[in-house]
Structure 1
Amino acid sequence: MALQVCILRPDILLLFPRYAGAVFADACLKGLNGVPDVVECSFVQSTVTELPFFASKVRLGKNGVEEVLGLGQLSEFEKEGLENLKGELKSSIEKGIKFAHAN
């Protein structure tokens, strides 16, 4: 059904990142206002893996990201998938860091 909607209305794809941004902005504002236990996913500098940045759940608070939460228990399938994507992710992180330093 969702695929059919996207084929019939390609402009609908523009709404997904906007909605995600709105949800994250709302969570940030809640955290900054002292609402307890605000948890969202974010791509942040972390030690969750050996990569310098990773997307995982974070606890938001008055100081922004107050805690980076781990990945939890992964199945063998998930562990294998994670290992397979690390090379691509590392390359993307390096490109992003170079871009940030250049601009």
Structure 2
Amino acid sequence: MADLIMDYLKKNKQRQASTHQGRLDKSRLPEPRHFYSAYGFTLKGSSGWQMVKCPFHDDAHASMGINRSHGGFKCHACGVSGDLIGFYMQYHQADFKSACNALNIKKG
């Protein structure tokens, strides 16, 4: 019985260590102006929303808004939306873990 309890405590401790390891540090996300410039968008001004052509569908007119201060985006035509991580995931068809690794926002 003691062995079962010790095994359980050991596994639980390992599980707790793995959940704390690799936490995200969103303060390490790139500044929105620099992030979106890599995708061909020029964000002018320091805050508020700017309309651009959406890269996720055939867009003839600017239908996607990008927030210059926090980097969120929303396309009013196709409905795709998210933050910088979500944009990376959508653009590169990557999963969350791959996007976080590529953006180098994991602690530790």
- Same fold, judged at TM 0.5 (above): no
Kindly indicate which of the two structures has a greater share of residues assigned to helix.
Answer: 1
Normalized against structure 2, the TM-score is what? 0.24
Q: Which has the larger radius of gyration?
A: 2
**Which of the pair has the greater relative contact order for Cα pairs under 8 Å at 6+ separation?**
2
Kindly indicate which of the two structures has a greater share of residues assigned to strand.
Answer: 1
Normalized against structure 1, the TM-score is what? 0.25
